[in-house]
Chains A and B, each alone.
Chain A
Amino acid sequence: MNDESDAGYLEYVSGRTPALRRMAFLLGGDEHQADDLVQETITKLYAKWPRVSKVENVDAYVHTMLVRAFLDEKRRGWWKVSLRDAPPERPAPAEPPSEEKAILRAALNRIPARQQAVLVLRFLCDRSVAEVAQLLGCSEGTVKSQTSHGLNALRRILGDRVGGVL
């Protein structure tokens, strides 16, 4: 890979890392996992950069890579597999998540990975049904039905929490 191509990659990654990390964080709810997902995504991105850099919408391509990495890690169990050779020292979060957040996140983690991804992409990343369909490589009808199944599962786990007090 030549210097010019590397420069393009570095420019892209430095500009997009915050947005990628935010999407990864919303998907999994954990900063460490988010960093691992972004690390995996930008590693694969570098491997494919000469080709990817020529596509029209690099962001859509990279977001698809990130969502796939999330689904793959859910299958493997990300808590067992770290991409780091030696995990860096990390400060504890400034404040622990509220009980409400912890309960919601635990419930999300209990539903199938694709349903979890659909709910997060639609309701936290504000993606349209059509965009989510394209990111996940499925039809809009599938996104709708997975939304419905995922929300039904959350209702069952959490009880009726909307509009009330946790």
Chain B
Amino acid sequence: MNDDEYGSQLLSPLRGEPAGPPAVDVVRAMREGRRMRRRRWWTGGSALAALLAAGLTGGLLVANREPEPSPIRPAACTAAALPIGKHRDVEVTGADPSGAWIVGTSAYKEGGPTPTSILVWHNGELVTDLKPAGLRKGSDGVRMADVNASGVAVGGNTDGYPDPYVIEGGKIRKLAGGPGEADAINDAGVIVGKAGPPNQERPVRWASPDADPVPLPLQDDPLSVRSTVTGITPDGTVFGTINWKAYLWRPDGTHGYLETPAVEGRRVNGFTPMVQREGWLYGALHTAAPGSKTPPLPPNGRAEVYRYELTTGAWQKVTDDWKQAQLAGAGPEGENPLQAEPKIYVGQSVLDLPPLAPPAPLPASAPAGLSPGGSRVDFLSDDARVAAGTATDFRGKLSDRRSVPVIWRCR
């Protein structure tokens, strides 16, 4: 059963109509809507200015470290489309910490060609363009999640029958150990992900692309927990979540839940780690009002972006308005929203990236007042000199829509 069939069957009991008559007050909507119109008129652009000012003032001291500007902050960036060979529509899916290697996929389109192709770029040049053999009929294809400084990429398929894959020397193969997923690789070639049959997967580590998977230790019965494996640092620290709470496996063999910071006046529900750069784990800290009756677990509550320094244990707040700029590679709701004028966090500062100039004139507006599209930034190199992402244009007809892989070079 593929994902679409599974999803339809699984959720079908929830089909139905709301009971009773609607309790919607149109007169009140008009009264409050009128008030909103007047407020908008008076406040004009000042709210936006205040928002930007708040975002640019930097973070808040949470533990034992003063906030400090990121040591590297490029002054200017240029955007360029990555070459896509014969494809029409391509997305970036990952990159190595130096930005030399970038991986992507030909974009899935309903009714379009499947399986999708995997693309690998080195220093901005397309060096690999392949489709794995032996996929199930109807499979969407394999998506590479990460790549390291040697150009070794890892990933998995998303059709409901997951297998972990590796690309090495331009050739793709399955990793040892049977079903699972490969989520990240570091420059030492250590791969982390999950292995095991559906519903029995557990976090694992492949010491190299040729190694068998070894289960990562857990405090609880691995079959009774829900786990995600998010990434691995250069020194081999693995991070992810166990039962929705941040979990760390350190290179010295110790492991456990990450202790979250206290936030004055709020109940901390937990931290969801998302990306790591230069020794910091960035992610969403979820908090709720002290009397909240909801379970004290992410993703319940309000999400704010925090970062945690692995060597010192220091916490810093990056922003409480995560929509104003992107955390390259992730967002509290899974992936970053598209921004017409993309902004990303470099440490606690915000860096503006130029939008990619469209290759041809496009209709001026999106249909029906919807989003005109924009760029999602999927990656930022450790030295903040290279960013990569995907620009999608929603203007024109749905069938004309294109996703373009983008590289930003900064200095």
> Could you tell me which A residues sit within 8 Å of B by CB distance?
1, 6, 9-10, 13-14, 17-18, 21-22, 24-26, 29, 31-32, 34-35, 38-39, 42-47, 49, 51-52, 55-61, 64, 71, 74-77, 79-80, 88, 90-91, 93-94, 98, 100-101, 104-105, 108, 110-115, 119-120, 122-124, 128-130, 134-135, 137-142, 144-149, 151-163
Report B211-235 CB contacts with A as 1/0, cut-off 8 Å. 0000000000000001100000000
Q: Which 7 A-B pairs have the closest CB atoms?
A: A46-B33, A57-B368, A148-B158, A137-B371, A25-B18, A47-B36, A114-B333
Mind listing 13 A-B residue pairs with CB under 8 Å?
A22-B17, A31-B18, A43-B33, A60-B369, A61-B369, A77-B288, A115-B334, A123-B11, A124-B11, A129-B108, A140-B109, A160-B198, A162-B9
Chain A: minimal CB distance from B287 (Å): 10
Q: Given the complex, which residues of B lie within 8 Å of A51, measured CB to CB?
A: 369
Q: Which of B145-201 contact A (CB under 8 A)?
A: 158-160, 162, 198-199, 201
> A146 contacts B23, CB within 8 Å?
no
The CA of A9 and the CA of B31, in the complex, are separated in Å by 13
Chain B: minimal CB distance from A45 (Å): 7
B75 at the interface (CB under 8 A from A): no
Given A56-B368, A115-B334, is A77 in contact with B10 using a C-beta cutoff of 8 Å? no
> B13 contacts A98, CB within 8 Å?
yes
The CA of A141 and the CA of B230, in the complex, are separated in Å by 19
Q: Which of B379-399 contact A (CB under 8 A)?
A: 390, 392, 394, 398
B83 at the interface (CB under 8 A from A): no
Chain A: minimal CB distance from B40 (Å): 7
Chain B: minimal CB distance from A135 (Å): 8
> A130 contacts B32, CB within 8 Å?
no
Q: Given the complex, which residues of B lie within 8 Å of A142, measured CB to CB?
A: 335, 376
> B299 contacts A112, CB within 8 Å?
yes
Max chain B C-beta neighbours (<10 A), residue from A22, A80, A142: A142
Contacting residue for A42 out of B18, B29, B370, CB 8 A: B29
Q: Given the complex, which residues of A lie within 8 Å of B15, measured CB to CB?
A: 26, 124
Contacting residue for B34 out of A32, A46, A74, A149, CB 8 A: A46
Among B58-66, B248-256, B289-297, the one that faces the other chain is B289-297
Max chain B C-beta neighbours (<10 A), residue from A64, A105, A144, A158: A144
> A93 contacts B338, CB within 8 Å?
no
Given A38-B22, A138-B376, A139-B107, is A47 in contact with B37 using a C-beta cutoff of 8 Å? yes
B25 at the interface (CB under 8 A from A): yes
> B32 contacts A43, CB within 8 Å?
yes
The CA of A149 and the CA of B241, in the complex, are separated in Å by 14
Q: Is the interface of A mostly helix, strand, loop or mixed?
A: helix
Q: Given the complex, which residues of B lie within 8 Å of A22, measured CB to CB?
A: 17-18
**Interface residues contributed by chain B, number (CB under 8 Å):** 81
Chain A: minimal CB distance from B12 (Å): 8
Given A80-B292, A112-B334, A146-B334, is A104 in contact with B10 using a C-beta cutoff of 8 Å? yes
> A156 contacts B335, CB within 8 Å?
no
Q: Given the complex, which residues of B lie within 8 Å of A38, measured CB to CB?
A: 22, 24
The CA of A77 and the CA of B398, in the complex, are separated in Å by 34
The CA of A135 and the CA of B368, in the complex, are separated in Å by 11
The CA of A162 and the CA of B7, in the complex, are separated in Å by 9
Chain B: minimal CB distance from A100 (Å): 5
Max chain B C-beta neighbours (<10 A), residue from A6, A32, A104, A145: A145
> B26 contacts A71, CB within 8 Å?
no
Contacting residue for A26 out of B14, B201, B369, CB 8 A: B14
B19 at the interface (CB under 8 A from A): yes
Q: Given the complex, which residues of B lie within 8 Å of A130, measured CB to CB?
A: 109-110, 398, 401
CB-CB nearest in chain A for B398? A130
> A138 contacts B368, CB within 8 Å?
no
CB-CB nearest in chain A for B159? A148
B303 at the interface (CB under 8 A from A): yes
CB-CB nearest in chain B for A150? B7
Given A22-B17, A134-B398, is A114 in contact with B334 using a C-beta cutoff of 8 Å? yes
Q: Given the complex, which residues of A lie within 8 Å of B335, measured CB to CB?
A: 114, 138, 142, 145-146
B105 at the interface (CB under 8 A from A): yes
B140 at the interface (CB under 8 A from A): yes
Q: Which of B270-320 contact A (CB under 8 A)?
A: 288-289, 292-294, 297, 299-303
Q: Given the complex, which residues of A lie within 8 Å of B133, measured CB to CB?
A: none
Max chain A C-beta neighbours (<10 A), residue from B7, B25, B36: B7
Chain B: minimal CB distance from A148 (Å): 4
CB-CB nearest in chain A for B181? A152
Q: Given the complex, which residues of B lie within 8 Å of A105, measured CB to CB?
A: 14
Q: Given the complex, which residues of B lie within 8 Å of A129, measured CB to CB?
A: 108, 110
